Each structure stands twice: as structure tokens, then as C-alpha cells.
A and B are shown apart, each in its own frame.
Chain A
Amino acid sequence: MNVWKHFSIAMIVGIFLIGGIAHATILENFAGQSGKIDIAGGTAHIPVMTEAAKRIMTANPDIRINIEGGGTGVGVQKAGEGLVDIGNTGRALSEDEIAKYGLVSFAFAVDGVCAVVNPANGVKDLSAAQVQDIFAGKITNWKDVGGTDAAITLYSRDEASGTREVFWGKMLKKGAIADSANIVASNGAMKVAVSQDANAIGYMSIGFVDASVKAPTLEGVEPSQDNAKSGAYKVARKLYMNTKGEPQGLTKLFIDYVTSPECTDIIAKAGYIPLK
């Protein structure tokens, strides 16, 4: 009995100690460091990057972390050209990109991409074929998919977007996207645009979905991160940070921090499923 008591106390203390050390180690690694990290690329990553930067910079004012969006294409190009330290991508790099720039990838979260409509829109479910036809410009009125009689306003992303590439490849099966689609520059901008336009349809990272937009079910499957992780919802990707060659110094610390268990709360709060 006594042995058990001692053992369990030792266990509890041990767990706290390990937890405490683990907590201390990663964020404390930044102590005494100075310098800057430039980050650009995927816009789905921005909430995670900003929150991580906030924690690091609040504890260590000598470190500067700049965060830019621009989209996956920008992340690849800027990291590849050495213009930034970390280039974020919302998809895995292609063979060409790795060969051309020598980029190394670090995945930290799973994220689905889903079609979104305005909350005022009555449409609750869409089939894959319907989504493809809507974005190809073949279905142009909401009444054809069970909604009210109103013209559909399409919203798409620019060519640098990884979200666009995933949605186009896995959802639209590389079919056409109508030229008449409005173009917005980020996941955040997509949410704003769709929330302001009653007849809108767009697509974005599931992590960005909140009450201001509505994600109709896809052939009955709810587009949620859990379904994306389990594979029930197919239009999913991982979120990556990429560096040119193996990361060094501050950049390495930052990547270690974001991929550590310590950052899982940030990632979960941003609406993604952490990989750790």
C-alpha cells in the first residue's frame, strides 16, 4: 500500500516535472536569442504563425518575426529564392519544386478544403458533380441545386493559392473554373467575401469556417477536420513549412516550436488538426 502510494506520488511528481521541463525547453530555447525570421506564403497558416510569433516575441522582444501571406506559390518562390526564411505551403511540394530549389518540408497540421456559401443560403447539401458544374459555370442559378431563384456568384483564388490547387485537384478533378469567378487573395478574404454576398459560393480551408459562412455537406459527408483526418472527407491536405536546405538557428527553433506538442493548442484553436 505504502509502496503504491510512494510510487504514485513519484509518478505524479515525475509527470509534472517532465511536463514542466518539456514546457520550459521549447519556448525557453528562444531565450537570449535575437534576430529575425521572415515568413511568407500559405494564408491558411497565418493564424498559427501569428499566434506562435506572438508568444515567442512577447517572451523575447529581441526576436522579430515578419509574417506575410501571398499564397502557397509565393511561399515556394520566396523560400526558394532565399527571400524569406520559411515559405508556407498548403500542399506537398512537387518534385520539380524540390529539385529546383532544394526545399525541405515540415508538416504540422491536417486541414480540409471545402466549398462555402453564405449563411442565408438554404442549400444544405451538394453533390461532387454539382460543385464541379457550379465552378465550371454550367450551373448558374441556385434554384438548380435546390436553392432560391438567384444567380450564383463564384469566388475563386489566385494561381498562387495552395487551397485552390487542392480544391481544383481533389474536388473539381482538374476541371475548368469559370473565368467569370471573382478572385480573392487569401482564405481570410474568401471568408469576408462570401459572408458579405448572399449568392456567393467559394472554397476555403475548413479551419477558417465559422458562423459567418456555411459549409454545405458534400454528398452527405460533413466537411469537418475530424472527417478530413479519418479520410471520410476526401478533399484534404497537410499544411507545411518549408526551408531552403536544412533549417538553421532561429528558423530551426521556430519550426521545432510549431511542430512540437507545445503548439498543438494554437493549431487546434486555429481550426486544424495538429500532427503531433
Chain B
Amino acid sequence: MHRARTCRQNSSRFCRQLFFDRLARILSCGAGFISLGTLAAIFVFLLVLAMPIFLEGQWGMILSMTWRPYQGHYGVLPMLAGSLALSVSAFAVAYPLGLGICLFACGPGPRTLRRGVMAVITFMTAIPTVVYGFVAVFLLVPMLNNAVTDRSGPSWLAACLTLALLVLPTIVLFLYETMRETEKRTRLTSASLGFSPLQALLLVVLPGSATGLRTAAVMGYCRALSDTLIPLMLAGNAPQLPTSLFDSIRTLTAHIALVVATDNSSPAFHSLFACGLFLFGMSLVMQALIRRKGMSAKPLGGICLNLLAALAGNRFCRALVHAWSASACALTLTAIGGLVIFLLSQSLPVFDMQLFFGDTPILAAIMGRAPVWDGIFAACAGTVILVALAVIMAIPAGIGAGVALSQYLHGRLGKMLRFSANILAGVPSIVMGLFGFSLIIFLRHTVAPEANTGLLLSAFCLALLILPYTINATAQSLETLPEELRLLGPSLGMTGLQSLRRILLPAASRGILGGVVLSMGRAAEDTAVILLTGVVAQGGLPRGLLDKFEALPFTIYYLAAQYQSADDLRKGFGAALTLLALTVFLYGGARMLRAGLENKWKN
């Protein structure tokens, strides 16, 4: 009798375990479809809101060269041209620079120097876009104005240089990773052929890193095309075809940010969604380009090889390459050094409690009993709450989807979901903001007429933006676990869920956590999304999820454009340093966690 009960108990326990296993499987597979669903939703929303243009035959009006809504001209071609001009020019500056830096980092220079350069490049990934923009407004633009006498003000050139600096780390890190692998693989071959280090780099490593060269190019270009803040702050935003580098231009992204708050039924409003669709389509095509089968693995073309051979064969050219890679590093280091020194020199003197709390008693401010008028406390608190909310929403879905991709979904479906996560990662944040904005319009016209932009919507859109980071980090960490660990669970008779919970996830936790922290940094610095979904310049602490909120990146952007006193300006610098410190802290944490995981499994 006693034995029978135990048996039944055991069997019911087993059933329960099986049930949980199934449930986890279904849930995580469901989460795997979130990225695909989001992509579809973005596409549908943008399409529906752009539809009136198609239906009313205003296509021709949109595809014209004049944007003067007050006279009935809604042409977006100048913005299209502006986007292309700015992204191509920034890319043309950044890519050769990045190549030079990679050659230096893999080259024969002193080890400490090379490491130092790479450390600076890694540090650059942590600098928020808005901080680049802020420093450029007060450092680069006046410099350009002094250097050039016949033009002044914001310009294509200022935006181009800043944007180049912004995309540089993306290019360098992608390329460097591949080049280092190739270099390790081919070291012996090169040595046995009697190549000098530079010749080896040019003749063996670069041709062998075709994948890295292409991926770095596409990723860098995508980053340049999808950025909103740099053109918004630095390019002048005139809706015209640029004829010189000193002209003012407007990109599609800045255009969306500038015009979005307009009459909901006007053609200007609908044309924005056409712009959004275009940006979305561009990022889709770009991602498809690098992930296409065979494309990324294809070796370099003949022209490139001949060029490299010519460079390596001629002593003068080799000297030139050396000089280029050294000066690329020097240029970048000078720019970043200048940026950091300028920021520190302006912000450290004002970096005190007064900056955060103004004249409000600190305790009262933190408890929310007294509003802070002259400090950035509300913005800091807003950013922290926003990031926390976004991460809380993104983590379960992201980890679930990552587990599904690495454990359950294989074959075509898995590939497709992976692809969709990568595309979601490439969606420009202004498009995500536009999606959030249209979501509110949709809700207001259907189920919730009271729906409004606010903290919850911003956090939701940010969560979608950082979801791919969590998915990829989880999937990658699980896949790089040693085979023994993977077999351990099943060999002990564990269900899939048990093995996952007790063995695999704990073992991969550092990598996953690293991905989460990295995505927190991303969420903390993003401005374009919150710009469209509920951030305000003056609002105090949010009292609820539906309240409007302040946030650090927006405060910095706002103060850069319209500080009204020297105090305001100092506050802007202080806020910029605070945000930089926050993101550097988060990115540093992410790197340490990742590095810890790597060491653990390597040794």
C-alpha cells in the first residue's frame, strides 16, 4: 500500500515535471516569435498610416524636391538625399580610418600601444550618441566656424565628422575580431613565406578576412544611416539638396523627429510614415545583404587583391600604409581625447550635489516630497526607472527566445527567427519610436481612447529595441557551453527544463547577464525612441506608469539646443558627464561579465 502510493506520487511528480517541461518549451518558443511578430507589427502600422498617400494618389507629391507644408508641398526627396549623402560621407570617412586602426592593432607596433588603441575604441562604444552630439555642438562647430570664413553655423561637415566618430568603433570591432582570428590562423604560413608583418597583413590577413570587411562595412553603414540625434543636432535641418559640405541638410531620421507632432490627418503626417517605411526597408535590405548565403564567405574580388598586392609590393606604398594606420590612430585618439578632456574640464567644476538637486533638500527630493527645480535629479531618476522597466520587460522574453533558438527551434524556422532578431536589432530607433507613437494612435482610435504617450510606452518600445541583444546573448552563451555540460542533464535523466534550470542557464548566466547589462547601456543612452513616446523637458518624478517623465539623454539634447543661461549650460555638461559615467559603468560591467565567462570555459 505504502509502496503503491509512493509509486503514484512519483509518477505524478514525473507527469508534473513533464508538464512543466512542455510548458517551458511552448512559452520559450512563443517568445522566439516575438521578434518576428514585432517586425510584422512595425511594418503593418507604418504601412497603414502611410496608406492615405497611396490611396489618394499623393505619391507624386511626396516624391518631389520641395518641402514647404505651409504652401502645400510635401516632397521628401531632399531628406532622402540628405540621409544618403550624410551616411555615405560619414562612412567614407570612418571606413578607411577603421581599416587603418585595425592594421595598426594587428600590426607590428608596440604591444601596449596597440592594446591602448583598442581599449580606447572599446571605450568609444560606451559613449552615448547624445554626448557626441553635445560636445560637437560646443567644440566642433565653433572650430569649423573659425576655420572656414565664408560659411558658418551647423553643417553637413560637422554632422559627417561626428557621425564618422560614432560609427568607427562598430567598424573597428567587427573587423578586428575577424582579422585577429585570420592572423592567428595564418601566422605560420606568412612567416614561412618570408613576409614582413605589414606584407602579411596586406597579402594574407586582409584577403582572408573578407567576411569581416563586408560585415563591418554593412554594420557601420547601417549605424550611420539610422542615427537620428547627430544630424538633428549638427546638420542644420534645412530641407534642401546639399551642394557643398558646409550646407545645411536634413536626414529622414531628423525629419521624422522634427515633424512628427503635426496634424494627424495632414499629408505631412502620413508622409512621415512613408519615410519610416523607407528606413525600415533599408535596414531590412542591409541585413539581408550580409546574411545572404555565400555572400559573406565570398573571397575578395580581383581588383581589391591587385590593389593590396600593389600596396604590399612597393616600398613607398608600404610606408604610406604605415603612415596611414598610425595617423588614423592618432586622429581618433586626438578626437576622443579632445572630447573627454573638453567634457571633463567643463563638467567637473559643476559636478556636485547642487547639480543633481538644485536648492531642494536632498532627502525630500529623493522621497519625492519636494520637486527639484534646478537639478537633474528627476532626469536621472527617470532614466533609471525607464531602463529598469525596459529590462524587466525584455529579460523574460529575451531569455525565453534565446533558449528556444539554441535548444528547441532548429532548421528553417530557427534560422528565420534568428534572422528576424538580427533585423530587429538593425531597426533604426526613430522607427521604433514612430511605431510606439502609431501604437498610441491606434489604441486611441480603438479600445482605449484615453491612451497617451508616457513611461510605459517608452519602456515598451525600448524593450523591443534591446530585445535582440538579450536574445543573441542568451543563444550565444548557451551554444558556447562545452558539450559535456549539455550531455550531463540528459545522462542523469533530467527533463529538458531541469537540465536547463540546474545546469545550462547557471553555467551561461554570466554571458546572459553580460548581454542584459549591455542592453541596459543601450536603453540608457537612446534618445530617438523616447523623443517620440513621452519624454518631457520639465515634469518632475513620474508618479505612475502612464506619467510623462524626464530622462538624461533628452535633457542633454534639450539643453544643448536651448540653454537659457550659463547655469543651464553647466547643467547640460554635468548631465552629459553623468550619462557617460552611467553607460561606461554598464558597458564595463558587461565586458567584465563576458570576459569572466570566457576565462571560465577556456581554462
Contacts and interface: CB of A to CB of B under 8 A. Distances in A.
Interface of A: 36, 38, 47, 50, 53-54, 57-58, 61, 64, 66-71, 73-74, 76-78, 81, 83, 150-151, 153, 155, 158-160, 165, 168, 179-189, 191-193, 196-200
Contact of B562 (A78, A151, A186): A186
A221 to B, nearest CB: 27
A127 to B, nearest CB: 24
Interface stretch (B148-156, B203-211, B406-414, B420-428): B148-156
B306 to A, nearest CB: 43
Contacts of A180: 238, 240, 247-248
B236 interface: yes
Contacts, number: 128
Contacts of A192: 561-563
B548 interface: yes
Contact of B540 (A64, A71, A78, A189): A64
A136 to B, nearest CB: 13
A66 B240 contact: no
Interface centre among A38, A57, A182, A188 (most CB of B within 10 A): A182
Interface string B476-491: 0000000000000000
B264 interface: yes
Interface residues of B, number: 49
Contact of A189 (B247, B543, B561): B561
Interface in B128-174: 141-142, 145, 149-154
Contact of B142 (A76, A78, A196): A196
B539 A66 contact: yes
Contacts of B373: 54, 58
Contacts of B36: none
Nearest to A168: B70
Contacts of A78: 261
Nearest to B243: A180
Interface of B is mostly: loop
Interface string B228-264: 0000000011111000000110100000001101111
Contact of A57 (B67, B78, B371, B561): B371
Given A78-B261, A188-B564, A200-B153, 4 more contacts: A47-B564, A69-B537, A160-B259, A192-B563
B145 A179 contact: no
Interface in B423-471: 444, 452-453
Interface string B100-138: 000000000000000000000000000000000000000
Nearest to A150: B150
Contacts of B141: 196
B184 interface: no
6 contacts: A53-B538, A58-B371, A64-B543, A159-B268, A182-B248, A183-B238
Contacts of A74: 261-262
B153 A153 contact: yes
Q: Is the interface of A mostly helix, strand, loop or mixed?
A: mixed
Contact of B538 (A61, A67, A81, A185): A67
Nearest to B235: A182
Interface string B378-410: 000000000000000000000000000000000
Instruction: Name the residue in A76, A155, A159, A181 with the highest tally of chain B Cβ atoms < 10 Å from its Cβ.
Output: A159
B30 interface: no
A77 B153 contact: no
B21 interface: no
B337 interface: no
Contacts of B563: 188, 192
Given A83-B452, A159-B259, A186 B561 contact: yes
B178 interface: no
Contacts of A81: 264, 444
A158 B239 CA distance: 10
A83 B563 CA distance: 27
A58, A151, A153, most chain B CB atoms within 10 A: A153
B386 to A, nearest CB: 16
B261 A199 contact: no
Nearest to B369: A61
Contacts of A186: 561-562
Nearest to B368: A61
B262 A200 contact: no
A55 B472 CA distance: 50
A64 B378 CA distance: 13
A188 B561 contact: yes
A180 B268 CA distance: 19
Interface string B534-572: 001111100100011000000000000111100000000
B330 interface: no
A74 B261 CA distance: 6
A168 B152 CA distance: 24
Contacts of B66: 179
B151 A184 contact: no
A150 B261 CA distance: 36
Given A83-B452, A159-B69, A192-B561, A70 B238 contact: no
